[in-house]
Structure 1
Amino acid sequence: MIVRTLENCRQTKRRVVAENWESVRMLLKDDNMGFSFHITTIYADTETHIHYQNHLESVFCMSGEGEIEVVGGKTYPIKPGTLYILDQHDEHFLRAYGGDMTMACVFNPPLTGQETHDQNGVYPLMEET
């Protein structure tokens, strides 16, 4: 059994901070569960371009509001209780309005822990370090 707290994970290298967001990676590839689990904060009044070409992601909004705009497609509002699933490697823009958004995220394949978006919004496939 693995037991971790969000606060403990925040105090380790499991907390990754970028310009528009931060992510606490609570469950990673080396935990051997077949997926990774993260609590991610999207900073208020930001826009992040994301295109997970190597991963599928499911995201549940726990707090805050914003929107997800699929490139070349629809824009969907996000508020607490909204789940969106990037099942087609959907390229998108994620925006938070008026305050931070807190999201619970699941990735497949799992992340190793230190990934950040490249210039195209992609997380590269990485080996454990």
Structure 2
Amino acid sequence: MIVRTLEECRQSERRVASDTWESVRMLLKDDKMGFSFHITTIFEGTETHIHYKNHLESVYCMSGEGEIEVVGGETYPIKPGTLYILDKHDEHYLRAYKDKEMVMACVFNPPITGAEVHDENGVYPLVD
């Protein structure tokens, strides 16, 4: 059995941050569960370009408000209780509204190792 708290993960190398988001990676590839689980905060008033070419992701909004814009497609509102699933490696922009920092629960398949950050194209590398 694995038991961890968000706070202990936040105080470790499992916390990774950029200018627009912070990800606390609570479950990683080394845990051998076949997926990774993260609590990610999207900072208020920011936009992040993301294109997971190597991963599938499901994201559940726990708090805050914003939107996801699929490149070449629709824009969807995000608020608490919204689940979006990037089942086609959808390239997108994720935006948190001003004064509406979003806190999201995220699941990745395949699992990430923990050190990944988006490259210039919004992609996480696939690490074996």
Q: Quick check: TM above 0.5? A: yes
Look up the equivalent residue of 1:31 and give its one-letter code.
D
Instruction: Report SS of the residue matched to 1:99.
Output: coil
The TM-score with structure 2 as length reference comes to 0.98
Partner residue in 2 for 1:101: 102
* Aligned-pair CA distance for 1:99: 2.1
Partner residue in 2 for 1:122: 123
5 Å-filtered alignment, 1:33-112, equals 33-97=33-97, 98-112=99-113
Partner residue in 1 for 2:26: 26
Q: Distance in 2 between matches of 1:65 and 1:100?
A: 7
Q: Distance in 2 between matches of 1:4 and 1:91?
A: 32
Instruction: Report SS of the residue matched to 2:9.
Output: helix
Q: Distance in 2 between matches of 1:117 and 1:104?
A: 18
Look up the equivalent residue of 1:115 and give its one-letter code.
E
Look up the equivalent residue of 2:115 and give its one-letter code.
Q
Look up the equivalent residue of 1:12 and give its one-letter code.
S
The TM-score with structure 1 as length reference comes to 0.97
Instruction: Report SS of the residue matched to 1:33.
Output: coil
Q: Distance in 1 between matches of 2:35 and 2:125?
A: 15
Unmatched 5+ stretches in structure 1:
none
Per-residue displacement from partner, 1:46-74 (whole Å, max 9, x unpaired)? 00000000000000000000000000000
Q: Distance in 2 between matches of 1:51 and 1:102?
A: 19
Moved over 2 A (4+): none
Q: Distance in 2 between matches of 1:48 and 1:11?
A: 24
* Aligned-pair CA distance for 1:126: 1.7
Q: Percent identity?
A: 80
Q: Distance in 2 between matches of 1:16 and 1:126?
A: 16
Q: Distance in 2 between matches of 1:58 and 1:64?
A: 17
Look up the equivalent residue of 1:99 and give its one-letter code.
K
Look up the equivalent residue of 2:69 and give its one-letter code.
E
